[in-house]
Amino acid sequence: MNGTLKEWRFLIKSIINEADKIDANFIVCPPSAGLNIVYDEIKNYASPVKLGAQDVYFKESGAYTGDISIAMLKSLGVQYIIVGHSERREYHHEKSIDISLKAKQCMKNNIVPIICIGENLVDYEKGNTIAMLDIQLEESLHDLNPENAQEIIIAYEPIWAIGSGKTPSIKSIEEVYRFLRSYLVDKYKDIGYDIPLLYGGSATPDNAEKYLAEKNIAGFLVGGASLKAEMFLELGKKVANVTNI
C-alpha cells in the first residue's frame, strides 16, 4: 500500500527503461488503484515486463464491496496474481483454503497465481517450519491440478524475517526448498520438478546471492526493495547472473 499516480508512473518508467537489458523475467504488482496506469505504460513501451495484481476475490462477481474480481483484473492486462500473501493471511485472516479458491479462479482464467506460504516467529523458534509449510501447501493447493509447471508459482515467505533485518540460515533455506521441491514432485510428478519457487523474506541485492545459491530458488518475491527501481533491477541482474552460469 504505497505510492500515488505520479509515483507509480515514475517507478514503472524507471523499471521499463532498463528491464529489457537484463536477462530475467520481471513482474510488477502495483496496488489495484495503480494497475491501469502501470498497464498503459507497459503497453505503450511494448515492454517485456509483466503485470501482476496483489490480490483477487474468489467469487466471479456480486455484492462484495471493496473486492476485485478476476474479470476486472484480466481486463486490465493482469497475467499474475499474488494470493495468500502473509499480510493478507495476518491482517485479513485469510485461510489456506481461501487461497486455494483464489488460485483455482486464477488458473481457470489463464492467470498464474503466485501462492505464498510461510511460518511466523513462534513456529520458527519451535522448529515447526516444515510442519507449518506442509499444512499450508496441503490446503492452499487443494483441488489445484496444473497441466504444466508454468501455471503456478510458489513463494516462500519466512514471516519472521520480513522487515526484521533477520534472515534464515543457509541450512534452513536448503531444508525448506528441498522440502518444497519434494512435496511438489510427490503431488504433481514431473511437473513438480519445474514449478518455480521464489524467496520472499526481505530480499535485497546485498543478500540475493546467498539465496540464489540454493538451486531450487528461481527468483524473488520482492518487498520493500521493489519501491526503488535500481534495487529491483539489481535483483533481476543477480538472478540473470545465476541462471546464465
The Cα 115–Cα 224 span in angstroms is: 19
Is 85 one of the annotated active-site residues of the chain? yes
User: What single-letter DSSP state applies at residue 33?
Assistant: G
Residue 200 to residue 118: CA distance in whole angstroms: 9
The reported pTM is 0.96
Q: Are strands 197-199 and 217-220 parallel, antiparallel or unpaired?
A: parallel
Residue 202: what pLDDT? 82
User: pLDDT value at position 168?
Assistant: 87
Is 209 noted as a catalytic residue in this protein?
A: no
Cell readout for 68 is 476485485
pLDDT at 201: 84
pLDDT value for 136: 97
Query: From the candidates 41, 85, 119, 151, which is the catalytic residue?
Result: 85
Q: What is the pLDDT of residue 77?
A: 96
Domain that holds residue 197: 5-243
Q: At what angle do helices 129-140 and 96-108 cross, to 10 degrees?
A: 40
Q: Are strands 27-28 and 50-53 parallel, antiparallel or unpaired?
A: parallel
- How big is the CA angle at 33 (ends 32 and 36), to the nearest 5 degrees? 90
Which CATH number goes with the domain that contains 64?
Answer: 3.20.20.70
C-alpha 146/C-alpha 124 separation (Å) is: 30
Integer CA distances (angstroms), 195 to 110, 131, 219, in order:
16, 21, 12
C-beta of residue 179 within 8 angstroms of C-beta of residue 133: yes
Q: Which residue has the cell 515492454?
A: 47
* Number of compact structural domains in the chain: 1
DSSP 32: G
Q: What is the Cα–Cα distance from 102 to 167, expressed in whole angstroms?
A: 29
Catalytic residue among 94, 119, 151, 157: 157
Q: How far is Cα 176 from Cα 225, in angstroms, rounded to an integer?
A: 23
Instruction: Please state, in angstroms and rounded to a whole number, the distance separating the CA atoms of residues 121 and 245.
Output: 35
pLDDT at 155: 98
pLDDT per residue rounded down to tens, the chain (245 residues) = 999 999 999 999 999 999 999 999 999 999 999 999 999 999 999 999 999 999 999 999 999 999 999 999 999 999 999 999 999 999 999 999 999 999 999 999 999 999 999 999 899 999 999 999 999 999 999 999 999 999 999 999 999 888 776 788 889 999 999 999 999 999 999 999 999 999 998 889 999 999 999 999 999 999 999 999 999 999 999 999 986 55
Query: What pLDDT is stored for residue 243 in this prediction?
Result: 66
d(CA 41, CA 77) in angstroms, rounded, equals: 12
